[in-house]
């Protein structure tokens, strides 16, 4: 699925700090025209790209190229990462020498997810650049909530000084690429079984989901095999992943659709009951859904 990041003409990209303790992030399989860069600050994140599962930990720098379909399938409860996106025009303008031509590619099928583990000094240097570029941007809480959620939002990125941001993004891009060239991949990916690939696709595309029995039948496996293999290969239980999807859908329905109450959005997202939703929400955000988090969502 192609996602529109909705960057205005004044901006060559965007940058924000994503924090799993505050807000959800888009977890459906997608790609976009922009080159994406992630730097993991704490916790872990797990992507599925081209039928392979990649889990990344603190100080990892990773790249998602424009034609790389990628899906965030899990974040640890304490995960925090910088997310930057660079328009093709910025990449082209910044990468003129032979050294930087690799940034102009659209995909890296052989490499899966291009990544490297930053040494502590490089990590702090890049982190300082990112922090400075976010000065003058929208409130960090708003950016995390809106920029990280996905295409359904009517959010538009803004920054007080677009020229400074654009210049800084070009510098950030080249400094990160320099670290990538001198580093090496962190670890080998897990190649997903066809059954698990089918399960991820079906869950991502079908909001109704159905029962575990129906999902297993559609994927050509028994319930026990699907559950066991999913947990082993994805790193989280099938139930946790399904609840993450439902939570993501809840936020989308509550903010963007005709649902007028929390309860209507709960059932539209696929939760079987409000009690189930409340438990999942409280586990994810440490408070009930009628707290400050929901209040902020409608007052953008």
Specify which residues 3 forms β-bridges with: none
Regions of the chain where pLDDT drops below 50: 151, 292-300
Single pTM value for the model: 0.82
What does the H/E/C string look like for 256-275?
HCCCCCHHHHHHHCCCCCHH
Domain made up of 238-300: CATH architecture: Orthogonal Bundle (1.10)
Query: pLDDT digits over 20-63, tens only?
Result: 877 666 667 788 999 999 999 999 999 999 889 999 999 999 99
Tell me how far apart the alpha carbons of residues 33 and 85 are, in angstroms, rounded to a whole number: 9
Domain ranges of the chain: 13-182, 192-235, 238-300
| Rg, the chain, Cα only | 19
| Residue 231: per-residue pLDDT | 95
Domain made up of 13-182: CATH architecture: Sandwich (2.60)
| Residue 297: per-residue pLDDT | 47
């Amino acid at each position: 699925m192609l996602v529109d990041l909705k960057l205005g003409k004044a901006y060559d990209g965007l940058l924000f700090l994503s924090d799993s303790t505050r807000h959800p992030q888009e977890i459906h399989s997608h790609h976009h025209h922009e080159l994406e860069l992630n730097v993991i600050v704490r916790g872990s994140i797990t992507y599925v790209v081209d039928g392979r599962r990649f889990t990344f930990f603190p100080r990892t720098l990773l790249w998602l190229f424009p034609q790389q379909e990628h899906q965030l399938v899990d974040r640890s409860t304490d995960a925090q990462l910088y997310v930057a996106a660079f328009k093709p025009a910025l990449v082209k303008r910044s990468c003129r020498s032979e050294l930087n031509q690799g940034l102009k590619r659209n995909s890296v099928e052989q490499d899966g997810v291009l990544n490297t583990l930053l040494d502590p000094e490089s990590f702090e240097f890049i982190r300082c650049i990112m922090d400075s570029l976010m000065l003058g941007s929208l409130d960090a809480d708003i950016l995390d909530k809106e920029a990280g959620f996905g295409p359904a939002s009517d959010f538009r990125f803004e920054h007080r000084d677009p020229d400074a941001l654009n210049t800084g993004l070009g510098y950030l891009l080249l400094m990160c690429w320099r670290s990538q060239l001198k580093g090496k991949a962190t670890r080998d990916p897990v190649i997903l079984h066809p059954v698990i690939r089918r399960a991820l696709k079906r869950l991502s595309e079908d909001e109704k989901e159905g029962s575990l029995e129906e999902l297993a039948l559609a994927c050509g496996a028994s319930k026990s095999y699907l559950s066991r293999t999913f947990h082993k290969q994805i790193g989280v239980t099938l139930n946790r992943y399904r609840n993450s999807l439902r939570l993501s859908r809840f936020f989308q329905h509550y903010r963007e659709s005709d649902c007028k109450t929390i309860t209507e959005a709960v059932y539209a997202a696929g939760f079987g009951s409000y009690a189930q939703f409340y438990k999942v929400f409280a586990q994810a955000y440490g408070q009930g859904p009628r707290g400050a988090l929901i209040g902020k969502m409608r007052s953008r």
